Every structure is written in structure tokens, then in C-alpha cells.
Structure 1
Amino acid sequence: MKKLFFMAVIAIFSSSGLLAQKIDFYTPGIVRVTRDNGEDASKNVSLVVTATPENVAVVKKSEDGKTVYTTDQLTVTVENGKVSFADSKGNLLMTEGEYAFTPRHTGPDRNSYKVKQTFSVEPDEAIYGIGMLQNGKLNQRGEQRRMEQANTEDYAHFYQSVKGYGVYWDNYSPTFISVPENGMAGELVLESEVGDIIDYYFIYGGDADGVIAGMRHLSGKVPMAPLWTYGFHQSRERYATQSELLEVVDKYRDLKIPYDGIVQDWEYWGSPFLWNAMEFLAEGFPEPQKMIDHVHDQNAHISVSVWQSFGIGTKPYRELARKGHLLDFETFPPSGLPGWPPRDDYPSGSRVYDAYSAEARDIYWKNLSRLHRMGVDCWWMDSTDPDFYNENDRDLDVPTALGSLRSVRNAYPLMTVEGVYNHQRDVDSTKRAFIFTRSYFAGQQRTGANTWSGDVASSWDAMRKQIPVCLNFTLTANPNVHSDISGFLAHDYNTNGWASAKDNPQFRELYVRWMQLGAFMTMMRSHGTGAPREIYLYGKKGEPVYDALVDAVKLRYRFLPYIYSHAWQVSKNDDSFMRALFMDFKNDKKTWDINDEFMFGRNLLVCPIGRALFTPEEIDRSGKFAEVDWNAAKTYDVYLPEGIRWYDFWTGELFDGGQTIAADAPISRCPLYVKEGSILPLGPDVQYANENKYDNIDIVVYPGKDASFLLYEDEGDNYNYEKGKYSTIPLKWNDKAKRLTIGKRSGSFDGMPLSRKFNVKIVGDDKVREIRYNGNQISVK
């Protein structure tokens, strides 16, 4: 027996000759396994993995034709060329199955292989992650598909098991995945279209949070997003003029509807020949700087859509073409003339840029920096899949700076998003780079980008699917995710003429429920086409639908101290915002496949209303809008996980876990529960996130168990928090003593309130205690 710090290299024979298999311990719980078929595996420089192997203490033992490597977390056994993994107690986690190298004989990748590896899955072993799949499933058992990035579905080449391990498959080509049906033992298959080697990482974390932490250790931590990005964002497809956009900006302030962001969608650049010029060239935007300044004067922020393709009349197209950095396949827009269907006799000539080239990324940023210098606050990076118009095998054969497009296809979102993030960080430390984008890949969490689920339909079915979409996305170690509130495509609700969807009670109910769901996503953004989405078009104060929409937005702002404090836990301690129930209640097996509820942070159980309660779910195409009693009482079944009691957030009523209840579900709110033993910091009513210094916060204690919460604050923007300029205040509740302790504040930052007021409320006690706090510990009984 030998204790050593090492990388194991094992030579075994395959059908095609000598095959080298290597095992690298990156940490005691993370193992890299590679196999090559005569290639040099060390040449495989990862686009995703940024970590290097640590000096891991490993005990090696060889006997009876097998070699066993043991750390304090894992036992890795190699026998007959196959690798198996067990935890420190000897519980088998996963065993490799068959692998294969299939030579490619044609095209630019003819000297490479199709590479395949299989992994064991037990009969009742739940599998999560994979990516952003519009299949409505949380547990991905039975899933079979070709993974290639697209508008509404993206893939991370990563999955994790309810047994507490994950696998990251480090290959960027389109990859086939097959997961055995639930209840059947079998092999999970991963087969990539192009690869020189088989290369994967086994991550043992003990639970989902540990697996996520391991993946972030490998591929990058999550930076803090600005405070304002957690506010409400209003968008539509699209504001055709700057006066349209500014009308919304001003009207929201006049009506006192809180918001922080206004979003300008595409075509502010003018004709399709000027596609993505990264300049305001359309006639409706004669004074773009004045427009941006006015948004800022209203204490709001502006996000602008940018694409990865360029029209032939643009400056970036000409420079990229001259350098050979445009990819030769048809993309959006296909036609240079407005309208649909496109005119094939007037092709647009638009081309996607080669984001795999460092020089091309430099050119992209050089052109984008024009908007950055104008003060644009956020980049809406659309079509980061990127869009194909008529994808075929020839398109995937086009060359890029890193080989054929096929060989690196699925990493495109990472490359283009990271290019913008890194460039902005290099030149601007005054405000945090913030991006929301349509596509992603493993490792993209290190840019802080927030991925939305693409152009999904405005339907109850689509809304229901967004919950498992976001949860599985989160389980690939990417915490920042959201959807277009109300769904993008509202055309089907226009049963009474163009844009009549906004007057259609069926669409109004859907919009309200999606808004209530969106209040607990990591970005709350209303957007779509077929009908405008501005809240004031859906009634007026005192009317149920309007009030419900506004109340959902106000609730979001009420939770900002909770959300921003949790953002610190995500960044510092690898936590997640939207949490599948099994992450916190794994012992309750019912939670393993609940796809319509989630935890938001560690304390809130969110139970969105996923079906119509007031109107027919099926769209009524008669064009006649029926009268609806929006004040009618409704209920909705929700499941409360076992092992803990739950408080109704709205009423304070206490329920035992482990049961399904008929929750009150008026149009004004969705069911929301707080687990006993929680502390919620809740902020005052504000019109925008940075309106005050949050020196008057409510602290609400939900008794029944001891509780703690770390209140985090910083300047709200810039990167000074990375230099230690932030503060934390620990809050602790001793349930037996019925005592709340507000601990000594640690740290400081510019503009920090030195004294403040906390309004302490214990649920079940009507008394509110006002506490003056100056940074020193204080206890309240």
C-alpha cells in the first residue's frame, strides 16, 4: 500500500491498439478520467475547466488485477479498464460501462472520432440537470435526445444524481444522451460527434449543493450581479422609437409602479442590411444619447439587444470579414427586406461572427464599446446559440478558429458571452458587467450572465414547463435563470383582432400567474410579442388584474434584502436561488420529482399557480370575451415537504409538512410558505432598488426552530466587494429562549448607514419591536 500525490496513467489494450487511460484527482472528491486512442490527452485544453489538480493525498493499492485509489471522500477502482466510484463508506455511486472510438472518415473531422462512454444508473436513481429542456420534467429519466444549442433548449453536458455525484462531459460537439427509463437499471449514454479523446469529470459532493460547488470549483465562481438587476424589468418586442420607450419609462414613474430596467429589443439599428450595427441608426432613434440620459435621470437602467450576427452594411461586418472571422452559414435575418416570409431573391447576407477567435471577440467588443461609452447598463445578448436559418451538415463543417464548427458547436454561448464579460471587466470597474442571454454552456456561471429560456409560447403548458427548466438549469451549477414573463408568443390570444390579447381575460389570467412566478426568478422581466406587456395596459388601480400585477412587482421589491443577501451566498458559498425541493428535503422521496414547486433561497416555498382557475385554459377562439369574477375564491393543491412545519406567508397559519393542502389562490397572489425556523429581512416600499439605504428593514421571525440569517450589504454596484468592501450582520433566533440576537456588524463600505432601525416581528405575536442598531450586538427577548 502506498500513499502518494499523483496522476495515475494506466495503459490498457483496446481493439485498435494501445489505449492510455488517465485518472487525475483535482480534489479529494473530483476525478478527471481521460482515454485516448493514440492521441496526446494533455493537448486537450478545456474551454470550461479553469481549475488545476491539487496535491491530493491518495492511497493506492493493487491486487488481483485491479487498482484501488482512496481519498478521504472517494474510492476509485480500476478493473479491466473500467472505472467505478464509491463514497468513503464504500457505497457504490457509479460504474463505467462500455466506451467506443468510432473513426470519422469524411469532412474536416475525418482524423477524429465519434466518442462514446456509458455510465451505470440504478432503477430508482433520479437524474437531474443536463441543460434547459422544455419537456416539463424534473427527473430526466427516460430522456433521449441529440444535444445541440437552440433557441429554447440548451445543454451543459452535465448531469447529477440524487445519490450526490455529478458528471461533466468535456466535449463541445453535438452529443447524444440517453437516460434509462425510471424504474429500470441501465446505462446512461453520452456519445459526441467529434472528439480526439474521452474526457469527463466525476464530481462527488454528497448532495446537490456539494455537486454544484464541485462544478463551480472546476469551472468558476459566480460574481455578484448589481442590486438593480434584481428589480423589475419591462420589455416588449419591440419599442420602435425612443419616444415609445421613454413614454413607458415616464409612465411607470408617474403611476408609481416600481421598476429598475427598460429593455430595447432589436432593430433600433434600422434595416436588415444594418443588422446588429451596435448603433442607433433607425429613424425612430434620432437622439439616442438623450434617450439614455433620460432613462438614467428617472433612476432606471437601460438594456440593449445585441446579436452574434451582422448585416453586410455594418462596420463590424466589414472588419470581421476582412480578418476572416465570419462563419459561412445562413443565419437570421435570412432576407434583407422587412416582412415575412423572407424573400430569397434578396438575401440579407448576415453572418455569425467567429466567437472562438480572440481577435474576433476583440472586434466585437470594440464595436459594442460605442454603446458602452453611451452608458448602456446591460447587454441583452440574443441568439447566442447561435441562430441557423437552414442548418445542415455543411454548416457544421465550416471552419472556426478552434476547428470545425461541429467540434466546438455547443460552447458558442460560453465563448461569446465570456468575451463581452471579460472585455467590460478589463475597462470598467465602476459598474458590474451584466448580461442576460438566450443560451449557455457549462462554466458560463463565471460571467454572472442570466439565461432566459428563449421564445417560449404564451400558454399554461409553457408556463408550467419553465419551473423544471429553471430548476434543472440550476442543477448544472448555473444559478441565474428566468423566462419571458407571460411567454414570448401571445399571438394565439389575439382572438378579437391584432393585439387584442391584452384585453383577453384568458391572457390576463396567464399574465398574472406568470408575473407571480417571475417574482421568484433571478431576473423579473416581462417581455413578448403579439401584445404589449406594460402593466398599465391591463387595467387601473383598484381593478383586480392590474392590482395583482403591481402587487407581484411590489412583493419582489419587498424581498430585495433577502434576495441580495442570498446572492452573496451564491457568490461566496456556491448556493443557488431556485432550488428543487429534493435539494433541501432529500429524505422526503416525494420531492424527488416535484416539478411545480421550488424553494427560493433556503426559506421560501414557492407554489406557482400552473393552471387557469378563472377562465378556460384552452384558448377561446370565438372572439367573445366573457365576464370574469376576479374576486371569486379559488384554491390550488400544493404539497408541503415533510420533516418540518410551514407558515402561510400571507396569513401566518402553521401547517404540518408531508401533506397536500388546498391553498387559497385568489387572483391577487400565489401560495407562498415559509419554513419554521426562518428569519426574513424585508425591505420598505421603493420605486427602484437603490432608492434608499435600507436603513429601515423589517426582520420577521418564523419560530418553531432555531434560525439564522446573514444580512449582506455593499455599494450595490462596482467590484469593491471583491476588495472586501461589504458588510454582514448575523441574525440569530434562539427558539427555546425566544430571543433574537442581532450580531456585531462585520466590514464596511462607502455610504454604509452607521445606524439604522430594525422592525422585529415574531409570527404569531402582533407586537412589532423597534430596534435601534449602531453596529454592535443587541438581543431582543
Structure 2
Amino acid sequence: MKLRHLTLTFASALLVASCSSAPYDKTDTGITVNVKNVDADGARLVRLQVLGEKLIRVSATPDRKFADTPSLVIVPQDSVPHFDVTDTDSTVSVSTSSITATVSLADGEVLFYDKDGKLILAEDEGGRRFTPIEVEGKKAYTVQQFFKSVNDEEGIYGLGQHQADEFNYKGKNEELFQYNTKVSVPFVVSTDNYGILWDSYSLCRWGNPEDYKQLGGVFKLYDKDGKEGALTGTYVPADGSEPLVQREDSIYFEHLKRGDLAHVVNLPADFPFNGSHVTYEGYIEPEISGLYRFIMYYSGYQKIYINNELIVPERWRTAWNPNSFKFSTELEAGVRVPIKIEWEPNGAVAYCGLRVYSPTDPKEQLKMSWWGEMQEQIDYYFVYGESMDDVIKGYRTLTGKAPIMPKWAMGYWQSREKYNTQEEVESTFAEFRKRNIPIDNIVIDWLHWKQDSWGSHEFDKERFPDPKGMVDSIHDMNGRVMISVWPKFYVTTEHYKEFDEKGWMYKLPVNDSIRDWVGPGYLGSFYDAYDPDARKLFWKQMYEHYYPLGIDAWWMDASEPNIRDCTDIQYRKDLITPTSLGPSTQYFNAYALMNAEAIYDGQRGVDPDKRVFLLTRSGFAGEQRYSTATWSGDIATRWEDMAAQMSAGLNFAVSGIPWWTMDIGGFCVEDRYVAAQQEFDKTGKENADLKEWRELNTRWYQFGAFAPLFRAHGQWPFREVFNIAPEGHPAYKSIVYYTKLRYNLMPYIYSLAGMTHYDDYTIMRPLVMDFPADKNVRDLKDEYMFGPDLLVAPVYHYGDRNREVYFPAGGWYDFYTGKYIAGGETMNVAAPYERMPLYVRAGSILPVGGDIQSTAEVSTEPLTLFVCAGRDGSFTLYDDEGVNYNYEKGMKASIPLAWNNAASTLTIGDRQGEYPGMLKNRKFNVVLVDPSRQVAFDKPAKGVTVDYSGNSVEVKL
């Protein structure tokens, strides 16, 4: 029986069950418990539904029946596995062959056990809370769910992509909402091989369910002269005129005033902030001792000192896109401690904030906690597995498999903000071809339309006289074109009017006269992506205007949705409500998922043979089923921001969504780099800032070559390698080297793409996924596995020419020399300017191809298989046509490779399957690498030539 039918059957059964005096009722999918001891804010009904051998849905409500509104995240499940129900006087349990979930009849507490009876996870006693909430006439609940810490040493990862450079979320706090550079996905995976998917679309919190408090609400404040009640704020204008000095009882300058785009709440209204220097200083005195957790909010340059110690070294963000950063410090009750915030605003509008959490009992802090602002009930999914990969497989079983991305998407993409003319697009791509630098995709960013026509989906004919000819010219060079499409429409466009007459535009942005930053500022709004018919219209408009041009892929920008930067969260909700499903308070976080569905379903409906590709700035649980990738937004061009992309990307990957990328080099550029490029353009001389800019981009490209998607983008200075540095410069040579290497590794990378679909694999992998028993990797966030075979250790400090790398036990080979490292230790390794530490795992069978200029090419060279001795290993080469969905019809091919280390034999197995255009006869160059035979993986190496026609071959090495 299909689950979609079971839901209707069970809903009617509950009407009877809710009036039953029986302690529980058995259903077709599980059990419903009528909680005996119902607290005033607790659950009346608790339900377990078995969705798979290792998948259980837990629902709880204080009402007499469940809401059972269809989930936006979960896909229908094909069947319900066999399960058993057993009970005692105090509990009732459901058991599959893999797990058991037990519910207390008294209070509804749920505990999860493995097949051997070992406790995996347990709800906390009394840890479920419901508080009524009503928004726009809709009644629901603010909810909390706490779990015990069964294992204090477990690592917990996921929650999407956040920019505070936190990695292991055990004992941490995170607020889950969507914003530029912040993508919230309510899913976590534990090293104890379970996951929790929290099915909520509202503002949520992980960890502390409370909001951060103002400094004056936690500490006694004293100004710099010792007077109680406030800190001293000193505002020094850029022109050196008389400073403004005033007392500040909170440091909360984090959002614009409504209706006033020039002033930030609580800041002095008429002070000229750009180029000024601001200091907040004085003393804080805590009432209790313990660890205080702070969150700072910053634009411009900011440092924080506590007790005369530099706690937060200088950080920078552009004025229009502030960032948050978290830090902690121990403080003693009754001890007055000096505090100082140094701030240099870097724009006419400026943002600054510092808030804090009071100390929490360490044992309480280690408990898993979920909070949701507005939900009809508590719904979460317990996912168990034999490994973290198995847990992610369960997540994708619930939320949808990831299709195989088009092969070209795994090549190099060139982008900038922005190509302003057709000539710029064509000449830039042609320059790559002229220089023999591989490239597959060029991106056309916003404002390719007329200035006053956002949402028209029409190119400005003056700057782009022949859009189809432009796209055709890129196609003729074996390239692809991606275009930026926003869910945003100026009120003057016909497309806006089409939506508006159906009631599908958010009205408050227009009523509040919110104008954007273009030209004189234009009035517009976003469409309601929660309405299924509005989604169809959104795609129809794209199809009519862009599709005839031959556009290959879609860049869905600002899909948070971002109607106005730098507003408080309540106003963000107000600007997008009501949705067709209900108040935005309830559906705050899922817009990007709905928008992605519009494009995926739309394109597959009109062109079912062309693979869909979406890149979105926001995302949500389940987006992978819509062939959607996410990038990390408009990050800054700073070394610390590059470092933060590692933890952000790794946690996003563990959130179950395999396709992620970033703006290589960062998007928002510091003034000093802009000035350095301008000076170079005039004088041809490389000053200190330009030298750093080039090194930053070099290191970032090295890192980016080993992300799931390889993409450069950003504001001026331009990001093409030939605009970053001249040919012969070490930056140029290194960037070109790694771009070519990306293409040499395409047989490996595309095989990983196949694994993401067929095996629910994760390409960008924190070491904890492959070495879960190694406690040294639980918090290791600056190195990772790229697929099963490559250990990547990016360099992210200026001037570093070496770095420490931890090598898990098992054996490793230096990618550039073949030198063997036994592992099980941390080593200081060389990291010259042009190379990033990169290692191949013993037991790997690494396929490396010849040089190609795009993924549309097939190398005429034999495919080299580097066989790394030290342990047994295997790998499966996968291929298909790369651009269509014929693989769904079985048109694909895979070749299993197996290395027997003891016998020193590689088996190239029977090819499975075939597809049109497949190479039926091919040559392999098999190269053995072992501790006594050092072979570089990035240079031609002579090995054993094997002629292969699809039948199994054994190669003795």
C-alpha cells in the first residue's frame, strides 16, 4: 500500500483513536499513543510511523487529532516494511529488522535502539513543549523538543551552510533561517550513525531555544570611567572633527529602520559613518561564573577585546551584506572585566552588534535541542544507518534522490558581476579557448535586461543585440550558458502584472514603496512560490523568453527570498506574507525549495531529454531531488572567509545535499584590493595588496578545484585567470594547472556523480565520514576527502608555504611526488605557492585522463589507472551520455575495478551496460604506486597497457 493512501486512511482512524481509552492504537504504519499524563504544555498524542527498515517518523500533538498537512520536504514512500508491535505495562514498541522505537505510555517519551538493544537516541523526560501561537488568524504552536545526550563524545554535523566557521555542532547553538550566505537545512547526522530531520519550515533554533540577549540583560555594564549602566560609545568622524560620545546600554545596531534605508536602528541618526572610527568600551560584570557564548554582527572592520585580550582578530564585511561570528569566553561572577569593540565602518550605512547567551549547565548544553517558531505539531524523522553515508541514504530516501547533474556542470565555470555586453561574454569565452585553458560554462549575471525592466526576461538589445547568436557562439565553442533569473519583478513589467492579477505577488514591498539599488531605485516585489499555479506561470515566462535562446542552466538568485537586505527577521516575514499555504511565519524557510520545483518540473515537462541544472543562493531539505546545487552566497574576499567555506561546505554536504559551490576568490571585495588593481592598470606594478590578492585567488582556486562544482565569481577586479595575473606569474600558472587537473580527473569526478545518484554518495566529505572511529577528526574542519581517494588540505593563510596535515592511519601518497606516508599522525608538509597539499589514499584506484578543453571532448590518450598499494581497494568507473536522462532508462555503463593487495592484482571487471556513443574498445594504462615506487599522479607515467573490450581482465603488477 502506498504511503500517500495510508495517510488518508490513518487520518480517519484517528478520529476514533483520539476518543479511545486504550493506551495505544496500532495502525497500518505504526502506533499512536494516547499519553496518560498530559502536561499543560505537553503532548496528548504521540505517533510512530515506520517508513523504512531504518526510518521512523515521530509526530506529537497536544490536540485530539494530528494535522497531517502534506510535507513539503518528504516524498511519498513506496511501501511500509514489516514491523512488530510489542508492549509492557509502561511502554509500547515498534521494531523492524534494524531498529526499535519505544514510547512511554505515561509521558510519550520516545527512545531508539539498534537491533542489539543498544540505546541510540532518547528524548529527554519532559522535553517536549507546545506553546500556542496565532499569526494572521492561523492557530498553531511554538514547539520545543529536547533529546538526552546518550554519548557526550559524538560528533554532530549538518544544519546547512553557515558562516561562523563552526563545524561539529555537538553542544553548539545555531539559528536556522535563510539569508544571503546562510542556508538552513534542518537535518543533522551523528557519528553514532543516526540522523534527525526536523520537518519544519519556520524559523528554528538548534541548541539554545532562546534568542541571544543584549549585553545589559546579562551583565552589569560600566562605561570607561566606571559609571554603571552603559558602555561608552565614541564616534570619531573621518574628517577628524569633534567626536560624538554617548552611553550605550546595548550594542545592537543590526538592521535598518523600516521605511528608512539610510539609518540603522539605535545608531546616531546624523553621524557620517563611512571612514569613521567607532569604539565601544567599558566593563562587563557577570552575575554567575561560566562560559559565555557571544555572537557578533559586523560590517566594515571590527575587533573585540575582552579582559584586554584580543578575542576576535580583525574581520571585515561589506556594508550592505553584514556577517555574524560566534565566540566564547569564561567569566567569573562579580569580577568586572574590561571590554572594547573597535569598529571602522566601511560604508555610509553601517552595522554592528554584540549579544550573548548566559552560561548553561554543560550537560544540558550537550543535549540535542530543536525549537520551531510556528508548527501545527512536532514532526521529525529518525534515520539510522550502518555509517554516516547510510544515514544520508536514508535522508534521500525520505526527501528524494539526487539526479545525475549534466557532465558539463562538473567542469570549470567562469562568472563575474557582471558581463555587461554580448561582446564581453563571447570574447571572454573565446580567450579561454585561445589560451587552451579548459572551460565548460559561462554565466550571465543580473541586469542583462534593460535597467527598468527587471523580471521582463528580455535582454537589453543595445548591449546584447543577438542573444541567440551569443548563446549559439558559446555552443559552437563547446561551451554552455547559464543565466541569472530572480523571482523578482518590477511593477511596470507585463510579467508582474500577470502574477498580480492572480494575487500571486507579495504586496507589502509595493505598499511600503521598497525600491531597489538600481539607478534611481525601482519598485517591485517577489512572486509567491508556494502557489503551484504561480510556479507554473514562473516557468512559463522563463520558457517563453529564455528557452528559445538555447540557455542551458538557471541561476536562481536571491531565493531566500531576499526582498530587502539588512532588515529584522519579523519584517522579512512580513514582506512575504501571506503565502498560498499560510503565514510566512510558518513557511519562512522553504521558498527556495518551492522555486526549484517550479524550474525542475517545468523543464522536464517541456524538454524531458535535457538535464536540468539549477544553482540557487538559498536552499532547503529536499532540494537535491530538483537537480539543484547551492552556492555560499556573497561572501567576502578575506582569508578567514575562505577558511569558513570549508566548514560551511562540509556541513552542507553532510546535510544530505551533494552539490555545492562558492565564489572562488570571494564576492565582496575590500577597497584595498580594488585600489591595488587600479594602480596596476595604470603603472603595471604589483604592490603589496595586489600581491596578496593574487595569492588569495590562487589558494582559493586550488581549494575550489576540489569542490563538487568548480566556479569563480565576484565583483571587480575581474576573476578570469588572465585578469588576475599575467601569463608566467605563479598565480596564473597555478590556477591553470588546477583547472587542467580538474579535467584530468573528470573520469573520477563523473564517476562520483554517478555514485551520488545510485548510491546516495557524498562527494565532499569531512574526514569523520571515512574515519568515524578516529577521535582526532571529530573537529577537523580544514581538510577533507574528495571522493573516496583524495585527501585535500587547502592553504588559507597569507604567506604560508607549509601547513599541518593530519593523516588518518592506513597509508597515503603525495599526489605530486608519490612519496608514501604511513598515517596516524599530524605532519608539517610543504605547501609552495603553486601547490596545495593533496594526497591519495592507499588502496585507491585513481583514474586520470588526458588533457581536454571541455567535458564534450573525449581524450585520445589511454585512461591511466593509478593503483595505490597498501590495502585492498575498489572503484567503479561510471559513464553515460552526460546531457540527457537516458541513464534513467538504463543507458549507462560501469566498469568495476578491484585491487587485491596481497596478490598484487588489478581486476578490470566486466562492463555493465552500454549507451549510445560509448567507447566499446579502449586502452588503460595501469600504473602501480607503492612505497618503493614513487610515482607522481599529475605527470605521464608509463605502466602496463591493457586493451579492454568490455570483458574482465586481470593485470598482475
Fold conserved between structures, TM > 0.5 = yes
Aligned-CA RMSD value:
2.3
Q: Distance in 1 between matches of 2:514 and 2:695?
A: 36
Q: Report the secondary structure of 1:508's partner residue.
A: helix
Tell me, yes or no, if structure 1 residue 514 matches structure 2 residue 693.
no
- Return the TM-score normalized by structure 2: 0.76
Relative to 1, partners in 2 of residues 1:650 and 1:731: Cα closer, same or farther, differing over 3 Å? same
The alignment status of 1:199 with 2:379, answered yes or no, reads yes
Q: Name stretches of at least 5 consecutive residues in structure 2 with no aligned partner.
A: 1-24, 209-359, 934-940
Distance across 2 between alignment mates of 1:471 and 1:23: 31
Q: 1 CA distance for matches of 2:817 and 2:782?
A: 22
Q: Which residue of 2 aligns with 1:638?
A: 805
The yes-or-no answer on 1:483 pairing with 2:662 is yes
Given candidates 130, 134, 148, the residue that maps to 1:101 is 130
284-293 vs 67-76, which deviates more?
A: 67-76
Distance 1:17 1:779, change over 3 A: closer
Provide TM-score, normalisation by structure 1: 0.93
- Counterpart in 1 of 2:223? none
Q: Partner of 1:24 in structure 2?
A: 49
* Contact 2:804–2:826, Cα closer than 8 Å, also in 1: yes
Cα distance per residue 1:524-556 (max 9 Å; x no partner)? 001001310011123343321110010010110
CA contact (8 A) 2:525 2:563 kept: no
Structure 2 residue 867 is matched with structure 1 residue 681: no
**Deviation string, structure 1 residues 1-21 (Cα, Å, up to 9, x no partner):** x99964201112342698221
Deviation at 1:336?
Answer: 5.8
Matched, 1:744 2:910: yes
Are 2:708 and 1:528 equivalent residues in the alignment? no
- Find the counterpart in structure 2 of residue 705 from structure 1: 871
Structure 1 residues 109-508: aligned runs within 5 Å: 109-121=137-149, 122-178=151-207, 186-271=366-451, 273-281=452-460, 283-330=462-509, 334-335=514-515, 338-339=518-519, 348-369=522-543, 370-389=545-564, 390-391=567-568, 393=570, 395-397=572-574, 398-494=577-673, 496=675, 499=678, 504-508=690-694
Who is 2:954 aligned against?
779
2:337 corresponds to which residue? none
> What is the alpha-carbon distance in structure 1 between the residues aligned to residue 860 and residue 708 of structure 2?
20
**How many angstroms apart in 2 are the aligned matches of 1:45 and 1:694?**
52
Distance 1:115 1:501 in 2: 57
What is the SS of the residue equivalent to 2:722? helix
Distance 1:184 1:408, change over 3 A: closer
Alpha-carbon deviations, 1:434-480, whole Å to 9, x = none? Answer: 11111110011111211000000011100001111111111111010
Does structure 2 retain, via aligned residues, the 8 Å contact 1:39–1:196? no
| Partner in structure 2 of residue 11 of structure 1 | 34
Q: 1:722 to 1:732 in 2, by over 3 A?
A: same
Distance 1:246 1:10, change over 3 A: same
Deviation of 1:42 after TM superposition, in Å, equals 5.1
Instruction: Determine the C-alpha separation between the residues in 2 that align with 1:34 and 1:53.
Output: 20
Partner of 2:716: helix, strand, or coil?
A: coil
How far apart in 2 are the matches of 1:355 and 1:324? 12
Q: Which amino acid aligns with 2:784?
A: F
Q: 32-41 vs 679-688, which deviates more?
A: 32-41
- 1:43 match: secondary structure: coil
User: Could you tell me how far apart the structure 2 residues matched to 1:512 and 1:17 are?
Assistant: 55
State the AA in 2 paired with 1:741. Answer: T
User: Structure 2 CA distance, aligned partners of 1:251 and 1:39?
Assistant: 67
Distance 1:395 1:487 in 2: 26
The reply to whether residue 652 of structure 1 matches residue 818 of structure 2 is yes
Paired residue secondary structure (1:399): coil
The CA deviation at 1:109 is 4.8
Q: Establish whether residue 768 from structure 1 lines up as the match of residue 948 from structure 2.
A: no
Counterparts of 1:333 and 1:711, CA distance in 2: 56
Match of 2:775 among 577, 589, 600: 589
SS in structure 2 opposite 1:546? helix
Q: Is the 8 A contact 1:493 1:500 kept in 2?
A: no
Q: Work out whether residues 3 and 57 of structure 1, in 8 Å CA contact, stay in contact via their aligned partners in 2.
A: no
Shift of 1:123: 2.4
Contact 2:42 2:128 in 1 (8 A): no
Larger radius of gyration: 2
Shift of 1:142: 3.7
Q: Structure 1 residue 491: deviation in Å?
A: 2.9
Report which stretch shifted further, 262-271 or 31-40.
31-40
Alpha-carbon shift at residue 775 of structure 1 (Å) = 1.4
Taking the aligned partners of 2:569 and 2:724, their CA distance within structure 1 comes to 44
Q: Secondary structure at the match of 1:351?
A: strand
Give 1:182 shift.
Answer: 7.5
1:569 aligns with 2:735: no
Where does residue 696 of structure 1 map in the other structure?
A: 862
CA distance in 2, matches of 1:562, 1:518: 16
Q: Could you say which residue in structure 1 is the equivalent of 2:728? A: 542
Q: Which moved more, 1:54-63 or 1:601-610?
A: 54-63
Q: Deviation digits for residues 584-640 of structure 1, max 9, x if unmatched?
A: 1011111111000000101110111121126xxxxxxxxxxxxxxxxxxx3221111
CA distance in 2, matches of 1:277, 1:357: 21
SS at match of 1:393: helix
Query: Which residue identity is paired with 2:853?
Result: Q
